[in-house]
Amino acid sequence: MRRNDMTSKRKTATNSSNMNFRPAGYDPQRQDTKGTRPTANPTTVREVLLQMLIFLCKKVIFFDVNLKVALYLGSLFLVSLIGDFAPYPKTYFARSDNIFNVYFVKWGWAWTLVLSVPYLVLTSCILCVGNREKLIREHLPRILIATFFWFFWTKVFNLVETMYGRCNVKNFDSKIACLKGGHFWNGFDISGHAFILIYSSLVLIEEAKPIIGWENIKEHLRNEEHNRLTREESSVNPLRNLDDDELQNVKSLYEKYTPVIRVLFISMTALQLLWDVMLVCTMLYYHKMIEKVLSGIFAILTWFFTYRAWYPANSLLPNCAGHGKFIYQKTKIQPAVPFRKQSLNYNNAGSSTGQSNNTPKFMGMPIYPQKTTTATE
């Protein structure tokens, strides 16, 4: 009897499962993916350590740039003024032949280009979806413009020193002849070292900004592929306007270049720290106060004119770093300022969506998932 009862129960269960309702167009292969989001792959210890290092580098290189500019000018004036009246104790860095001065500062702009150019090319290649013409037209000119201003100001500084100087020996009227004769040329020597160190630091900060939110691209790619597989529509995914070929191109380039971009970013942070250290040495031991303050003013004005007034206006090319065919960084609505449009917000990424900045975070990322508010809500 028990065996017959168990057999009847199994048949009843089988019949009930076969009688379950199936809607029209039911596809058992898509049932498991419909309405769910793909999860990220397990993170290795190496990846966690790398993300922690990148997070630390972001904190260093993206220190409040407005405050940094104020510190540059204030320290150039105060530290240099004290050194003019009460010379600081001599150290290894006071020697003009120290290794950092010979192999780094004297080649400062070359080092800046060695790291910033490949970083710019790789990040912009992904943001422009592999469009080389767009990369060359909208991003590469930033480095060419910065190089022009570096060359222009260094030539102006040399011209001023030559025109408004004299040799310590009356028989020599030109700077070249004076120096070749083993004598000393007394002139108004605007500090080229202070200029290149400050200007290079500010350029590195601006060009490094595409790394902010860079890891979000991986999540956007995963979600957009899922949306297209399940034929779901998303109004918030920045990759939704790309066609299938462009999406696959972005995915391929992102996976290929991201490891190199991370290494370049870490190297750029280390170089920017070195420039700050060498700037302190320049304040302590080289040039007069007025010569260093003027060079700092020229560097900051050049940076402000290009990266804060010219590029964000978008009236003329090039564009700001981080712009491309899709926008993966959150934006912040700012009050109207002449020659300036809405720019990328690198500090308060949640403000544009109405999210509270008090949301608990770990390494800059929210701990709890947040609802994204669209413009139509």
The confidence score (pLDDT) of residue 217 equals 92
* CA dihedral of 28, 32, 37, 38, whole degrees rounded to 10: -100
103 found inside a domain: yes
**Whether 320 contacts 344, CB under 8 Å:** yes
Q: Nearest 5 degrees, angle CA 51-CA 52-CA 58?
A: 85
Q: Could you give the CA distance from residue 231 to residue 227 in angstroms, rounded to a whole number?
A: 6
Tally of CB atoms within 10 A around 342: 13
What are 36-58's pLDDT values in tens digits? Answer: 667 767 778 888 999 999 999 99
Q: Encode 213-230: b = buried (16+ Cβ within 10 Å), e = exposed.
A: bbeebeebbbbbbbbeee
312 found inside a domain: yes
The confidence score (pLDDT) of residue 236 equals 83
- 170's enclosing H/E stretch is none
Q: Which residues contact 128 (CB under 8 A, 6 or more apart)?
A: 134, 135, 138, 139, 324, 325
116 found inside a domain: yes
Question: What range does the domain containing 264 cover?
Answer: 45-327
Q: Which residues contact 129 (CB under 8 A, 6 or more apart)?
A: 242, 246, 249, 250, 324, 325, 326
- Does the predicted model carry a pTM greater than 0.85? no
Q: Could you give the CA distance from residue 348 to residue 96 in angstroms, rounded to a whole number?
A: 43
Report which of 312, 313, 356, 348 is spatially closest to residue 330, judged by C-alpha positions.
Answer: 348
Residue position matching structure tokens 């740039």: 65
Give the residue numbers marked as catalytic.
Answer: 193, 287
What are 25-37's pLDDT values in tens digits? Answer: 444 444 444 456 6
Q: Which band of pLDDT confidence, cut at 50, 70 and 90, is reported for residue 111?
A: very high
Cis status of the peptide bond prior to 369, with omega within 30 of 0 = no
Contacts 24+ apart (CB under 8 A), 221-228: 221/247, 221/250, 221/251, 221/254, 222/38, 222/40, 223/37, 223/38, 225/38, 225/251, 226/33, 226/37, 226/38
Tally of CB atoms within 10 A around 362: 8
147 found inside a domain: yes
**Whether 334 contacts 343, CB under 8 Å:** yes
Q: Per the structure, how many domains does the chain have? A: 1
Exposure of 149 in the CB half-sphere (CA atoms within 13 A): 21
375 found inside a domain: no
The confidence score (pLDDT) of residue 364 equals 56
The confidence score (pLDDT) of residue 347 equals 44
Q: Encode 276-291: b = buried (16+ Cβ within 10 Å), e = exposed.
A: bebbebbbbbbbbbbb
336 found inside a domain: no
Q: Could you give the CA distance from residue 194 to residue 200 in angstroms, rounded to a whole number?
A: 10
40 found inside a domain: no
Q: Could you give the CA distance from residue 307 to residue 269 in angstroms, rounded to a whole number?
A: 19
Residue position matching structure tokens 């028990």: 2
14 found inside a domain: no
pLDDT at 295 over 70: yes
What are 129-188's pLDDT values in tens digits? Answer: 989 999 999 999 999 999 999 999 999 998 888 887 777 777 777 777 777 777 777 778
Residue position matching structure tokens 């003019």: 84
Q: Could you give the CA distance from residue 76 to residue 81 in angstroms, rounded to a whole number?
A: 8
